Amino acid sequence: MRVIVAMSGGVDSAVAALLLLRQGHEVQGLFMHNWDEDDQGYCTSAEDFQDARRVAAELRIPLHRVDLSREYRDRVFAEFLEAYRAGLTPNPDVLCNREIKFGDCLRHAQRLGGTHLATGHYARILPGHDGPELHKGVDIEKDQSYFLHAVARERFAAALMPLGELHKPEVRRLAREAGLPVADKRDSTGICFIGERPFRAFLAQYIGHTPGPIRTESGEEIGTHVGLPFYTLGQRGGIGIGGLAGSSGDPWYVVGKDTGRNVLVVAQGENHPALFTTHLTARQPNWLCAPSEALGDGITVRLRYRQQDQPARVTMLADGDLAITPQSPQRAVTPGQSAVLYRASRCLGGGVITRTGL
């Protein structure tokens, strides 16, 4: 069968293509251009495309290129900005997988005659009794199922993830043995369209500063913030609070945002009670199973990427949203991020965190 590999110019997608070739598939590459170039050297799209071309030449496979920058701005970046303006901290990688990679890119791969779209994700798609199941990658340190939980389940039937059974060192070893030119290319980090630039400076290009008071939980005003979108719960650095007479001397942390009054709420101490959550709600969950399967015993939740799974009780509210009660209090749970549910290695789906509480 013809498999189209989403090639990013990195080692993971390169080895995904290599493995599929060795399995006997007809393989073609597809490079997505998702972000317009800037003049400050932060966007690496042009360099990444050249790396993808070098890999395709080494593997002797065709490489296509598709410009999805307009779609990305309309359906990922616009929602990203809207969430920040609302005082949330969104995760654009989740949106990109749902809207672009397994949306527009998958459809383009099918127009190229591909039966499947393959990616370099560290996750597994396994057959289940009622359809494809999304499972964690074997390499728990690299597992990316968290970022895939919002993809419509039926789209996984046309997806392949060859790296799901591998650990990262093995992927690099395979790349070196095959002579792939990206074998030692460092992994990309952070949000793709921001690159290595300072995040606050980038966000300020699109969201104006609206200064307001910084207050303690008791209501004492101790400073001025530059605008609520520029802070996230649990943040320590960059708050702008100096030494205060009579304070404990412990670091200050963001513990809340009062968007109605434009107030940033802070507290002192890494383990201040206001930093912890005992229950939360998540809206509009995307289900990768029958919803009833996520409401029983043995469920765990992940509230941020790389967090260890936390045992939790899940109930469904009348409007379809989820009420989630972790077994133990969780620190710095952030509205706008995703609450993703698991049973053992299987990802059951998840939704966007809207409210937290003690």
Judge if 153 and 24 occupy the same domain. Answer: yes
- Rounded Cα–Cα distance for residues 270 and 6 (Å): 41
If one counts every other C-beta atom within 10 angstroms of the C-beta of residue 306, the result is: 10
> How large a percentage of the chain has pLDDT more than 70?
93
- Average the pLDDT over 49-75 and give the result: 97
pLDDT number for residue 198:
75
* Banded pLDDT at 296 (limits 50, 70, 90): confident
Judge if 11 and 112 occupy the same domain. Answer: yes
Domain boundary among the residues 250, 274, 298 is at 274
Judge if 265 and 304 occupy the same domain. Answer: no
289 is catalytic: no
Q: What is the pLDDT of residues 308-354, one digit of tens each?
A: 999 999 999 999 999 999 999 999 999 999 999 999 999 999 999 99
pLDDT number for residue 41:
57
Q: Which two tokens stand for residue 32?
A: 């997505």
Q: Which residue out of 96, 105, 289, 347 is catalytically annotated?
A: 96
* Banded pLDDT at 240 (limits 50, 70, 90): confident
Q: What is the pTM of this model?
A: 0.93
pLDDT number for residue 252:
94
Q: How many domains does the chain have?
A: 3
Q: Is the pLDDT of residue 202 over 90?
A: no
- Average the pLDDT over 26-39 and give the result: 85
If one counts every other C-beta atom within 10 angstroms of the C-beta of residue 85, the result is: 16
Domain range for 87 is 2-177
Q: At what angle do helices 11-22 and 168-177 cross, to 10 degrees?
A: 70
pLDDT number for residue 357:
86
Q: Which residue out of 43, 105, 192, 347 is catalytically annotated?
A: 192
* CATH assignment of the domain containing 235: 2.30.30.280
In a domain, 203, yes or no: no
Domain boundary among the residues 157, 177, 197 is at 177
Nearest to 240 by CA among 211, 217, 201, 261: 211
Sign of the CA dihedral running 56, 159, 45, 122: negative
Judge if 162 and 13 occupy the same domain. Answer: yes
